[in-house]
Structure 1
């Protein structure tokens, strides 16, 4: 009986080895797939978070310079760069109008006539 088991193992070791390697490869593939899915979810969250932060900063800049009634050249350049990054990330809503309004503002405060 014991010799039959030893003989069976000796004759079929290649099949058992193939089974073990296949199981390890399957487990590795599942782990890699899980990691890839988690990384994709993380990247999506970072993408959406950065887009929201850029939109918020564009709105804040608009409110700040609208109160001042002018937007200096460095402010315009900053808003333009933020908007370009925001647009690249897929943002395309009210921030476009705010950016356009800021870029059309005067660069210095106009003197008031009394």
Structure 2
């Protein structure tokens, strides 16, 4: 009987204790899921960065063999490089990007 009277007198404290416990469990669950999502996002960003780097290198090789880089290709490469750079890419691809932009836009005329 004394326990019931105590619980009736202090029900607000009990309610907050239960709510606090549930909030703590919820926080742990959300925190664990957030960590997993952050790891996934990092892996996806690194994968996309690698694909963009590969595209820059591939375009560099292609247009170096041709000896020129058309204006439409340069515009496309600029977009690829912008995305690559936003993903913190900044290595050999940066140098190749600048070399591509410096290339002539039309083939040299042949002297026959």
Quote the Cα distance in structure 2 between the aligned partners of 1:22 and 1:92.
Answer: 47
Deviation at residue 12 of structure 1 after TM alignment: 4.1
Quote the Cα distance in structure 2 between the aligned partners of 1:67 and 1:17.
Answer: 74
Gaps of 5+ in 1: none
Per the normalisation by structure 2, the TM-score is 0.85
Task: State the number of aligned residues.
Answer: 112
Gaps of 5+ in 2: none
Quote the Cα distance in structure 2 between the aligned partners of 1:18 and 1:109.
Answer: 77
Quote the Cα distance in structure 1 between the aligned partners of 2:56 and 2:103.
Answer: 15
Give the match for residue 78 of structure 1.
Answer: 76
Q: Which of structure 1's runs of 4+ aligned residues deviate more than 6 A? A: none
- The one-character-per-residue Cα deviations of 1:45-65 (angstroms, maximum 9, x if unpaired) are 222112111101001111111
Give the match for residue 94 of structure 1.
Answer: 92
Quote the Cα distance in structure 2 between the aligned partners of 1:14 and 1:86.
Answer: 55
Deviation at residue 112 of structure 1 after TM alignment: 2.2
Who wins on radius of gyration, i.e. which is larger? Answer: 1
Quote the Cα distance in structure 2 between the aligned partners of 1:17 and 1:107.
Answer: 73
Give the match for residue 44 of structure 1.
Answer: 42
